[in-house]
Chains A and B, each alone.
Chain A
Amino acid sequence: MTLLSVVLVAAIVVALLLGRYPKPGFTAPRTLFSDPLAGQIFFRLRMPRVLLSVLLGMTLATSGAVFQLMFSNPLVEPGFLGVTQGAAFGAVLAILLFAGSLAAIQVSAALCGILGLGLAYLLARKIRFGGWILRLILAGLAVSALFTAGIGIFKYAADPLTQLPEITFWLLGGLSHISWGELLWVFPVACIGLSLMLLFRWRVNLLTLSDETAFALGTAPQRVRLVLIVAATLSVAAVISVSGIVLWLGLIVPHLARRIFGADGRYSLPGSLLIGGSFGLVCDTLARMLLPGEIPLGIMSSLLGAILFAVILTRRGFRQ
């Protein structure tokens, strides 16, 4: 765990010094002071972007870990309760209505992401069969499908020369437009969510048990479950409202963390946090460094994630 923290901090420092100005590759710290433009880029563009990529990775991975434990389902990803598709719907709607105002897109994405969770929750309460967990999963699927259909309609109706490319880029995810403004409001939301999840890191184990077992152990899982769902969803909605859709990260990193640290949330949640932060940072750094143009972050995370996933699944456990 200590090693991982050191790796993360070192990676942040290295990533801060990597860029495409003045020339592609490493930026010597000295240049930052001699070349005013390099300094500007460093402090106003690169720094918030690097920090946000770490925060994005941490939030998606930790929420993913919490959701996978809570729903006793290793295939769950953090946005599955209607959040990801809700946010995407909100962003696309704003692109069509407000002709690409960045703030409008972000606010609309965050609100619709939360709306997605709300709808899934209400629907789950109305479903008449199955346990609470199954009902939430089904409701999440239904709400996500509904929003996906809405996105399809918007894409069909969008102007193919101006709006459609913007929609596509948003759906592929990316952090190229990040400034301190975004970080300023995403950071507190994500931090509160992450702290809550980490505070419950032992209790979350009890949520992996069946309701009957949890009852026999004298616990009332409903309240902890609700707190964690809200904490995870709000922080995920906050980060993806500025990043666009970044898939796979929240699915794979928790698997990796459980392989290394075991299932117990006391270790697998902080593990997911640190690995997720590093993974988000690596993906975003590669996304902005590899080509002169920007590779969408969602593509990078899927690419690296899928490779990593295949490696994890074909190896035996790292533990003992």
Chain B
Amino acid sequence: MSDPAALAFSEVFFTHGGDAPRIRNCSFEVPEGSITAILGPNGAGKTTLLHLALGWLQPDGGRISLFGRDLDAFTPRQRGTTQSLLPQKEPTGFEFTVLEYVLLGRAPHLKPLAAPGERDIRIATNALSRTTILPLEYQSISRLSGGETQLLLLARSLTQEPKLLLLDEPMNHLDLRHRKGMLELLLDWRAAGKTSVLTTHNPETAAALADHLILVFPGGGMVCGAFAELFTGEHLSALYGLPIRTFDHDGRCYVDY
């Protein structure tokens, strides 16, 4: 028998309030050490899938498991050291410095009354240098730009040292150079044998990274499979409801619409 999947949904149903189910009979597996992209139009429920995987939203039916273990069986602390989420947006109130904020990612690793020590600070500064914002270490987070805030949240996610990284629209607010940096970081992450699941509304982000795709259709339908199988004009046209062609150039996939 093969290793258990990093993340597995089996026949998951989810209803937001009393409406028709947002997610219907959803089953997929994310193998360990892969990159999976969740593609779909705005409002189809991509973020909802990530929140279900995180455990923040509870499914109305079906099972979700992490590394072969039921998500409900995890303690908050185990959950926080196994997976982390890069959120799409996050409200911040007080004027923490960048380093102080990133150190909050150590919370699931520390005892209730402990404060972060030297080792935690080393892990946090490592994450800051990987996301290129180490020079901002002592700046107040309220003075960061949108892109810098995105990198700050990514650094905090890395500081959690998870095995599974969930990323909600990781390319948001990033300029071209930082997008490139994000791609490289995620490819390094895979090379280190770790897993990531990301949502994106941009098929080209998926094309640059993903081994697997989950296509989320408006209304809760879903198709999952290997990248090459699903990244076709036919599937994407159906997904976005407009004619789309895909083509290869220098070994990379692009879309035309």
Contact = CB atoms under 8 A, between A and B. Distances in A.
Interface in A61-110: 69, 72-74
Interface stretch (B109-117, B125-133, B220-228): B109-117
A224 B90 CA distance: 22
B104 A262 contact: no
B41 interface: no
A220 B75 CA distance: 9
B96 A264 contact: yes
B147 interface: no
Given A202-B116, A203-B112, A209-B104, A220 B76 contact: yes
27 contacts: A69-B94, A72-B93, A72-B94, A200-B112, A201-B115, A202-B115, A202-B116, A205-B96, A206-B104, A210-B91, A213-B87, A215-B54, A216-B54, A216-B56, A216-B80, A216-B87, A217-B160, A218-B77, A218-B78, A218-B81, A219-B77, A258-B95, A262-B96, A262-B97, A263-B96, A263-B100, A320-B138
Nearest to B93: A72
A218 B95 contact: no
A199 interface: yes
Interface of B: 54-56, 76-81, 84-85, 87, 90-91, 93-97, 100, 104-105, 107-108, 110, 112-116, 138, 160
A212 interface: yes
A155 interface: no
A266 interface: yes
Contacts of A69: 94
Contacts of A209: 90, 104
B75 to A, nearest CB: 8
A42 B113 CA distance: 40
A302 interface: no
Contact of A205 (B81, B91, B100, B114): B100
A74 B160 CA distance: 28
Nearest to A205: B104
B54 A199 contact: no
A262 B84 CA distance: 26
A163 interface: no
A218 B112 contact: no
Contact of B104 (A201, A217, A320): A217
Contacts of A200: 112-113
A221 B98 CA distance: 22
Contacts of B84: 216-217
Given A215-B55, A262-B96, A264-B96, 18 more contacts: A200-B112, A201-B115, A205-B100, A205-B104, A209-B90, A209-B104, A212-B87, A216-B84, A218-B76, A218-B77, A218-B78, A224-B112, A258-B94, A258-B95, A262-B95, A262-B97, A263-B96, A320-B138
